[in-house]
Structure formats: C-alpha cells, structure tokens
Amino acid sequence: RAHGITNRLGFFLHIPWPPTRLLVSLPYHERLVRSLLHYDLIGFQCDEWLESFLHYCRKELGADVDESTGRITLDGRVTTARVYPIGINYELFTSYADTPEAIDAQKRVNDSTRNRSTMIGVDRLDYSKGLPERLDGITRLFENKPERVSDVVFIQIAPPSREDIASYQRIRETLEQKTGQINGAFSKIDMVPIRYVNQGHSAAELFGIYRASKIGLVTPLRDGMNLVAKEYVAAQDPDDPGVLILSRFAGAAQQLSDALLVNPYSPDELAYAIETALDMPLAERKRRWEKLEKSVREENITVWTNDFANDLRIIEADLSPPIHN
C-alpha cells in the first residue's frame, strides 16, 4: 500500500491468532495489526482465531467491528475478516488406497503388530505438536492399566524439522529419551510398545499406515488447523474405521467434533481417551467416522481455495489514498 498499490489484497493466516492478553505483550503489536488491516480480506482457520482478532481490533484499536459480517472499520478504511477452514485434497489422497505403496505399508504394519491395535501419530518434530505430552499420556495408560501394554503398539512418525535450532534438537532428545524409558519399562522379549520413526514417508505410504491404525493420535498443544487429523479420517476403511483422538486446542477440533477431544496437557485424559477408543464398539466407530468423513470430504482444499478467492474477487476493495512510511 505504501507503494500506491490499490489492488484487492488478501491474507490467510495458517497458524492460531493469539488472545489479546498475549498479543499485547508483543512489542509493536499495534503496528503489526494496523498493517494487517491494509489487506481487504483476512482469512483465519476457525472461529476462535477470528474472534480473538476481532476482539483485539475492537478493544485495543477502537475499531468499529461488525461481528456478523467480519467488517472492521478503522480510520475510514474497511477490512473484512472471515473463517476459511483449510482442507486436504480429498480426491487425490483417497486415490492412494489401491496403490502398491499404500497396500504394502498397510500389510507391513499389520504383519508386524501381530493382532495388536496400532496407534499412529504423524507430526513434524516441533514443540507445538505436543509429542512429549503424548508419550506421557501413553505412559499413564500403561501405569494405570498394565494389561493394556500387550494390546497396543504406538507408532510415532516424526520427520526432523529445523535441526539447526537448539530448541528443536532438545525436543528430539526428549522424545528419544522418553521412548527409551517407556520401552525399557514395558517391553517384553517379543513386544515393544513404542516405535519412534525419525524420517518421512510418502503420502501413499501414510495412507496405508493410517488405514492399518485403529487409533489416530493428533494432540498438538496448539495448532491452526492440523491436516493429519483429516488425512487419518480420509484413509479409514468404511467397514471398520479407526477412532480419531484430537486435541481440543487444534483448529480442526471445531470442525471434527465427533472425534474424541482431549486436553493434551492431561495425561489422565489422554489415557482415558485411548482406552475408550480401544473399547469402542464398531457401530459407534462407524457413526462417528461417517460424520467426520462427510466434513473432511466436503470441506476440502478446492472449497477452501474457491471460497477465499471468490470472496476476495467480489469484496469491495478500499481505494483510499496510499499510506506513506
């Protein structure tokens, strides 16, 4: 805008928008948000992030905010903020079902777990994903219900991320340490409860791994949306679907409310959810999955793209004079 550009401009935020009480601790928070308000359209993943943004604009900037339309008026300029939940490429991802890679991956998981129920976690090696807390929940399950140790295998796929940053290195060290402690305490000669895989897999392989898994563990401490949850749902066998355990602090939780929603900071809550999923009758698994699958299929990446682009196309661009540095 400072260079005189008056085209319609749109911005989509993939990560959570913080509550006002946290954002104001950031130096130059007002300058940051005022700059954002020079976009014509701002998109958020879910209602919670949008509400936090509108609250900040009203409380800290004194903007005129229309909650029903997302219109924000400040200093004579109008910006619109709305929710656009991002989805997966549903048709592409489900097309992997009959590929040799997916079939082989599913078979390898099933053969290696020998009739035990597989739980799967797939995350970047990132502090926001709640991986140590996830292992704490599994530990609590094994401590409270030792008979469950022989029922399940947890596979955590965590490709390395930002390996040059010390905090990420510490996460990897913590995960390796916790995995070793759990396996040391609960393994038997012919059974290891935790498999930690520090490498990536193709989308087709992940489809097969998801389908072989009775439980999908998606428990970030905070996440804008989380597409792993949607991929897990899309990969399930309609005749024998698995159960999604999802952090209530992921944006996806607002859309996928038929998952088992948990507080990732609570080992007891996570342990209880895992046991509930293991014991869930087929009829309930099907009922929950059908609702989840419908949402994932209908709110796909094409819908997300078209909704945002169409709104940006028809929204009234603010052609106020250019700003100056």
Q: Is 14 a catalytic residue?
A: yes
Phi and psi angles of residue 232, each rounded to the nearest 5 degrees, phi first: -60, -45
Confidence band for 234, pLDDT divided at 50, 70 and 90: very high
Mean pLDDT for the chain overall: 94
Catalytic residue among 123, 223, 258, 318: 223
Q: What kind of fold does domain 10-86+303-314 have according to CATH?
A: Rossmann fold (3.40.50)
Q: Is 223 a catalytic residue?
A: yes
Cα distances (Å, whole numbers) of residue 309 to 5, 83, 92, 182, 259: 19, 13, 21, 48, 30
Nearest-angstrom CA–CA distance, 98 and 92: 12
Angle between helices 203-212 and 227-234 (to 10 degrees): 70
Nearest-angstrom CA–CA distance, 78 and 152: 54
Average pLDDT over residues 195-216: 96
Cα distances (Å, whole numbers) of residue 113 to 142, 155, 292: 17, 10, 26
Amino acid symbol at 61? L
Phi and psi angles of residue 82, each rounded to the nearest 5 degrees, phi first: -145, 170
CB proximity list for 50: less than 8 A, separation 6 or greater: 17, 44, 70, 81, 82, 83
Rg (alpha carbons) of the chain, rounded to whole number: 22
Question: For residues 36 and 42, is the Cβ–Cβ distance under 8 A?
Answer: yes
Confidence band for 284, pLDDT divided at 50, 70 and 90: very high
Nearest-angstrom CA–CA distance, 230 and 252: 8
pLDDT at residue 186, rounded to an integer = 96
CATH 3.40.50.2000 in the chain, residue ranges: 10-86+303-314, 90-298
Amino acid symbol at 66? D
pLDDT at residue 253, rounded to an integer = 97
In the block, tokens 């008979």 appear at 147
- Residue 92 in this model has a pLDDT that exceeds 80: yes
Phi and psi angles of residue 319, each rounded to the nearest 5 degrees, phi first: -105, 40
Amino acid symbol at 215? I
CB proximity list for 243: less than 8 A, separation 6 or greater: 214, 215, 216, 259, 260, 277, 280, 285, 288
Catalytic residue among 14, 75, 98, 237: 14
pLDDT in tens, 135-161: 999 999 999 999 999 999 999 999 877
Average pLDDT over residues 33-58: 97
In CATH, the number for domain 90-298 is 3.40.50.2000
| CA angle centred on 130, ends 124 and 136, rounded to 5° | 125
| pTM beyond cutoff 0.95 | no
DSSP 43-68: EESSHHHHHHHHHHHHHHH--EEETT
Q: Which has the higher per-residue pLDDT, 130 or 162?
A: 130
Amino acid symbol at 183? N
- Residue 127 in this model has a pLDDT that exceeds 90: no
Hey, what are 71's tokens? 């219109």
